[in-house]
């Protein structure tokens, strides 16, 4: 039997095993090559904070006793706390390399993401049959963006395995004696998802409403009890220990968002619909959205448990002014799962597939070409490379006291990921609002107070910027240039707001007479 026949046999006989193998391969690709971080939140609110606690420092000043802390800040201490425990274990084991630790973190997240495929397959099998389940699982395995976000410390995706698992427990067939037990276990999983990402409670609330509508009120109560239990253990206990009263961070999170929602990215109500259409690649994304609604219309009772929570979640985020693309990620796997089942039901009932089979094959072929091209590029993307490698490069120097970051082309500079530096170092900014001339004399007149290193972001007016800084710090010498990753460079060219550019590092020769330059 040749390899092609073996694959076809496996696809027909044991499709889930073959799909999971594909998922493992694509995620291992991301584990190995997709270093760095994707957004602000997945690094600075998780990795940076957790490692600083291990080192006896409070990077974000979230904890009582830290300078400037006036109480709860509204941040999720559970998910970050899990990383703190992991990094503490690394410290005990003697594993200190930042990149080595992040390799393990990416590997753990990749392993967790495989459950998304498993439960997506089971949900779609239940709703649409074997053919739909195979396609849903395949999309969840190799959709172009999944391996990249699966290895990130992104709470919007880290909560998804528990949402899917809880939904599946409530949707599976079981005898009446076990239904309440499964409902309570589902509640624990949904509560765990809530403890990772607060907004996932909206989805859980939709599940409770769906249970009530379908007359499963006992299961609704059991699910609610499970959610409360998990939230108490994962959130309230932590806040009791740190602040002396339960749900302190959650209360502050709600208060903050009620008063500051307009200070972030806003957009029209239909923004997330456009995101879903583009994210899932047209025209297949349109098939999935159509199938999502068609499946509910044809089998409302069977599909209500997914349809209602997804729609409530989408409606809330479409209404709420603060709109960032990653916020909608928790429901995307559900749209794929239910949408695939509904689409195959439509093809079966309407005969559309028989009449327009060639056109459909051409559209799917277009989708797979685009998707696979994006998959290979995105899964190997070293995101925020210039920022990460700048700190990794400087980590070879000990006792860095001060770093100056210069980008007088704009009003701010990028945050430095100190985790990769291995030191918690003060740094000062030179920007449009705070030009070089505004640097206090205390730094320029006393050479001992001068910055140890200087990082210039971007190429624009570089010679003039370096010249202005050398006039203040004449002992500044060129050290190296750190290039951004391939995708970072493209994103910057498409939109200069994406500040992922060349980073030029200069050394203060008074503090460090000898260079330790090697290729990063």
Convert the pLDDT of each residue in 458-506 to its tens digit: 999 999 999 999 999 999 999 999 999 888 887 767 666 666 789 999 9
Indicate the range of 135-139, 277-281, 343-347, 487-491 predicted with least confidence: 487-491
**Residue 517 pLDDT > 80, yes or no?**
no
253, 281, 467: which is closest to 374 by C-alpha? 281
Q: Are 321 and 269 in contact (CB under 8 A)?
A: no
Query: How many Å apart are CA 11 and CA 4, to the nearest integer?
Result: 11
What's the pLDDT at 492?
Answer: 67
DSSP string, 484-517: PPHHHHHHHHH-TTS----EEEEEETTT-SS---
Summary mean pLDDT of the chain: 93
Secondary structure element (H or E) that encloses residue 374, with its range:
helix 357-378
Tokens 């701010």, residue located: 412
Indicate the range of 122-126, 292-296, 319-323 predicted with least confidence: 319-323
Q: List 476's β-bridge partners, or say none.
A: 508
Indicate the range of 5-19, 46-60, 63-77, 258-272 predicted with least confidence: 258-272
310 or 96, greater pLDDT: 310
* Greatest CA separation for the chain: 82
Mean pLDDT of 76-86: 97
Mean pLDDT of 299-328: 93
**Residue 66 pLDDT > 70, yes or no?**
yes
DSSP string, 88-125: HHHHHHT---HHHHHHHHHHHHHHHHHHHHHHHHHHHH
**Encoded tokens for 216:** 């499963």
Mean pLDDT of 102-125: 97
Q: How many residues does the chain have?
A: 520
Give every CB contact of residue 313 below 8 A, 6+ residues apart in sequence.
199, 202, 203, 206, 330, 331
Mean pLDDT of 410-437: 93
Q: What is the pLDDT of residues 133-170, one digit of tens each?
A: 999 999 999 999 999 999 999 999 999 999 999 999 99
What's the pLDDT at 519?
Answer: 47
Q: What is the pLDDT of residues 392-407, one digit of tens each?
A: 999 999 999 999 999 9
Percentage of the chain beyond pLDDT 90 is 79
Query: How many Å apart are CA 385 and CA 388, to the nearest integer?
Result: 5
Query: How many Å apart are CA 68 and CA 208, to the nearest integer?
Result: 41
260 or 329, greater pLDDT: 329
Sheet of 426-430: strand order equals 426-430, 402-406, 453-457, 503-508, 476-482
Indicate the range of 4-8, 242-246, 356-360 predicted with least confidence: 4-8
Query: How many Å apart are CA 265 and CA 40, to the nearest integer?
Result: 14
Query: How many Å apart are CA 339 and CA 337, to the nearest integer?
Result: 6
What's the pLDDT at 173?
Answer: 77
**Residue 176 pLDDT > 80, yes or no?**
no
What's the pLDDT at 290?
Answer: 97
Query: How many Å apart are CA 15 and CA 135, to the nearest integer?
Result: 10
What's the pLDDT at 2?
Answer: 75
Q: What is the pLDDT of residues 7-63, one digit of tens each?
A: 887 888 889 999 999 999 999 999 999 999 999 999 999 999 999 999 999 999 999
Whether this prediction's pTM lies above 0.75 is answered by: yes
Quickly state the pLDDT bin for 215 (edges 50, 70, 90).
very high
**Residue 444 pLDDT > 90, yes or no?**
no
What's the pLDDT at 490?
Answer: 79
Q: Where are the alpha helices (DSSP H) in 197-331?
A: 200-213, 217-231, 237-243, 248-260, 271-279, 284-298, 300-319
């Amino acid at each position: 039997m040749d390899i092609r026949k073996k694959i076809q046999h496996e696809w027909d006989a044991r499709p889930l095993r073959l799909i999971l193998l594909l998922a493992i391969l694509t995620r291992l690709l991301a584990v190995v090559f997709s270093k760095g971080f994707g957004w602000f939140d997945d690094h600075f609110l998780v990795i940076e904070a957790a490692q600083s606690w291990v080192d006896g420092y409070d990077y974000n000043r979230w904890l009582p006793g830290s300078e400037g802390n006036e109480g709860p800040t509204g941040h999720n201490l559970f998910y970050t706390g899990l990383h703190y425990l992991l990094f503490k274990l690394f410290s005990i084991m003697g594993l200190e390399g930042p990149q080595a630790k992040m390799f393990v973190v990416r590997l753990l997240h990749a392993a967790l993401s495989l459950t998304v495929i498993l439960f997506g397959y089971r949900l779609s099998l239940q709703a649409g049959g074997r053919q739909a389940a195979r396609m849903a699982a395949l999309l969840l395995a190799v959709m172009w963006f999944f391996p990249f976000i699966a290895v990130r410390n992104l709470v919007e995706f880290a909560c998804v395995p528990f949402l899917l698992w809880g939904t599946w427990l409530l949707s599976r067939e079981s005898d009446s004696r076990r239904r309440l037990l499964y409902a309570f276990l589902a509640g624990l999983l949904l509560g765990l998802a809530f403890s990772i990402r607060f907004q996932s409670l909206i989805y859980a609330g939709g599940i409770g409403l769906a249970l009530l509508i379908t007359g499963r009120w006992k299961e609704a109560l059991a699910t609610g009890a499970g959610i409360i239990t998990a939230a108490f253990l994962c959130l309230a206990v932590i806040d009791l220990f740190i602040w002396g009263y339960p749900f302190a961070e959650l209360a502050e999170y709600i208060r903050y968002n009620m008063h500051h929602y307009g200070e972030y990215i806003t957009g029209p109500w239909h923004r997330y619909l456009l995101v879903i259409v583009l994210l899932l690649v047209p025209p297949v994304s349109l098939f999935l959205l159509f199938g999502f609604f068609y499946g509910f219309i044809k089998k409302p009772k069977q599909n209500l448990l997914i349809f209602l929570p997804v729609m409530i979640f989408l409606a809330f985020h479409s209404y709420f002014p603060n709109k960032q693309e990653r916020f909608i990620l928790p429901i995307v796997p559900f749209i794929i799962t239910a949408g695939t089942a509904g689409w195959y039901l439509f093809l079966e009932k309407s005969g559309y597939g028989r009449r327009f089979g060639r056109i459909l094959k051409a559209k799917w072929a277009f989708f797979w070409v685009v998707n696979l091209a994006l998959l290979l590029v995105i899964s190997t993307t070293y995101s925020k490379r210039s920022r990460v490698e700048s700190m990794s490069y400087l980590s070879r120097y000990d006792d860095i006291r001060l770093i100056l970051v210069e980008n007088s082309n704009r009003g701010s500079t990028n945050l430095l990921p100190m985790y990769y530096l291995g030191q918690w170092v003060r740094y000062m900014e030179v920007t449009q609002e705070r030009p070089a001339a505004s640097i206090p004399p205390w730094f320029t007149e006393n050479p001992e107070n001068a910055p140890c290193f200087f990082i210039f972001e971007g190429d624009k007016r570089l010679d003039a910027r370096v010249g202005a800084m050398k006039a203040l710090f004449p002992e500044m010498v060129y050290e190296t240039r750190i290039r951004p990753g391939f995708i970072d460079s493209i994103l910057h060219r498409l939109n200069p707001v994406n500040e992922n550019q060349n980073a030029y590092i200069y050394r203060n020769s008074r503090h460090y007479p000898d260079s330790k330059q090697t290729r990063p």
